[in-house]
Structure 1
Amino acid sequence: MSGRYRLTPKAADDLKAINDYTARQWGNEQRRKYLGELRHRFRWLAEQPLLGRARPELRDNCYSYPQGEHLIFYAIRSPDIEILSVIHNRSLPDFLRR
């Protein structure tokens, strides 16, 4: 795959909330580190999208992959992936947990 990803408006909102919360709770250094790790994972998933867990119970062509305290939901849109949402583990219903 291309190694490229696109964010949906929902995913962009999720990242903004993660950015704001992490900066407030843990400071700017941790905010930069954690968001960098998320973006690195997005690129990695774009290179190897089938390594995520298929989520047919949610919708066709939906996958998830854990990163830190969050679960990344994405769809394969060849040659890229589309990041659908990034949800904190505490916010997930039981059936979506790792």
Structure 2
Amino acid sequence: MKYSISEKAFEDIENIWLYTVETWSVEQADRCYNLIFDEIEYITRNPLLGKDFSHIRKNYRCTQVKSHLIFYKYNVSEELVEVIRILHQSILPPLYTQFIVRRAV
């Protein structure tokens, strides 16, 4: 299965990496970057893994990597996972984050 990453999600990844470098280190930023892409690859193999977030946006799903949330849509007919945004969990109210699927990494 294929995946695509929106322009906003690319910006999110870049901002996450830059923030992590400034706050911790290049090594930590690289680990975070790799974890995000590992999760995206995992989603392409298991597109229904993420919590259904259709109540927020139609056909949206969400999964979590450490403190970041990956919002995506699964296009069944095109066999495509579309990564929409990657946001820090602090952006969403705690009520939402408690229902997101967490995978041991």
Q: Same fold (TM over 0.5)?
A: yes
Secondary structure, in 3 states, of the residue corresponding to 2:14?
helix
Q: Which runs of 5+ in 2 are unaligned?
A: 99-105
Distance 2:26 2:62 in 1: 27
Distance 2:12 2:95 in 1: 21
Distance 2:11 2:95 in 1: 23
**Identity over aligned residues, as a percent?**
26
Q: Deviations over 1:63-88 (max 9, x none)?
A: 00011111110001231201010110
Q: Deviations over 1:30-51 (max 9, x none)?
A: 1111100100000100110101
**What letter is aligned with 1:18?**
I
Q: Structure 1: which 4+ aligned runs deviate by more than 4 Å?
A: none
- 1:95 Cα shift? 4.1
**What letter is aligned with 1:38?**
I
- Does residue 17 (structure 1) correspond to residue 20 (structure 2)? The answer is no
Identify the residue that residue 86 of structure 1 maps to in structure 2: 86
Identify the residue that residue 60 of structure 1 maps to in structure 2: 58
Q: Which runs of 5+ in 1 are unaligned?
A: none
**71, 74, 93: which one aligns with 1:73:** 71
Distance 2:37 2:97 in 1: 21
Secondary structure, in 3 states, of the residue corresponding to 2:56?
coil
Distance 2:96 2:15 in 1: 20
**What letter is aligned with 1:54?**
D
Give TM-score, length-normalised by structure 2. Answer: 0.85
Distance 1:9 1:95 in 2: 28
More helix by share: 1
Q: Relative contact order (C-alpha < 8 Å, sep 6+): which is higher? A: 1
